[in-house]
Amino acid sequence: MTVVYLIPAVAIAAWLVWRLIMGSGATVDCAALEAELKGSNPPVLVDVRTESEFKGGHIPGAINVPLDRLGEIIVSAGPRDSDIVVYCHSGMRSGNAQKKLAGMGYSRVRNLRGGIAGWRGKVVR
């Protein structure tokens, strides 16, 4: 394979991996979320990592609903038209959570781009 064919193939592969990680739903970046959390009507913030990851540090105000227990969010997040932001470490699990929640009828779910790994705000334990 020549370099002429290799470069586009690598670019396409990188794009596919990025789409897999980020999903196809709505996202929010860390700076925008930080501003929203300080506002008068902040979104419901859902950390879909494991309980031990959550205890190791999470964004203030987040509730922990691990991805494998996502069905329990009906009690935690409120009405299905609630503004919800999901996050994990990097964005992959929360992308899956976003898709699951959409399938459960939640219409306003966004994924935190870059997950908590990209978060520069306060973290609580």
| Number of domains present in the structure of the chain | 1
Instruction: Please say if the pLDDT value at position 40 is more than 60.
Output: yes
Region 38-59: mean pLDDT is 97
pLDDT in tens, 86-118: 999 999 999 999 999 999 999 999 999 999 999
> What pLDDT score was predicted for residue 18?
45
Q: What is the CA radius of gyration of the chain?
A: 16
Q: Quick one: the chain helix, strand, coil %, rounded to 5?
A: 50, 15, 35
- As separate numbers, helices (DSSP H) first and strands (DSSP E) second, the chain gives 5, 5
Q: Are 119 and 31 in contact (CB under 8 A)?
A: no
Position with higher pLDDT, 77 vs 101:
101
Domain assignment present for residue 125? The answer is no
Q: Give the domain CATH number at 80.
A: 3.40.250.10
Q: Catalytic residues, which ones?
A: 88
Q: Are 90 and 7 in contact (CB under 8 A)?
A: no
Domain assignment present for residue 53? The answer is yes
> What pLDDT score was predicted for residue 78?
75
The parent domain of residue 52 ranges over 3-118
Domain assignment present for residue 107? The answer is yes
Instruction: Please say if the pLDDT value at position 64 is more than 80.
Output: yes
Domain assignment present for residue 123? The answer is no
Residue 83 has a CB neighbour count (10 Å cut-off) of: 17
Reduced to 3 states (helix: H, G, I; strand: E, B; else coil), residue 56 is coil
Q: What is the mean pLDDT of the chain?
A: 86
β-strands 44-47, 84-87 pairing: parallel
What's the full length of the chain, in residues? 125
Domain assignment present for residue 80? The answer is yes
Helical H runs in 56-116?
73-77, 92-103
> What pLDDT score was predicted for residue 97?
95
pLDDT in tens, 1-38: 566 666 666 556 554 444 444 445 999 999 999 999 99
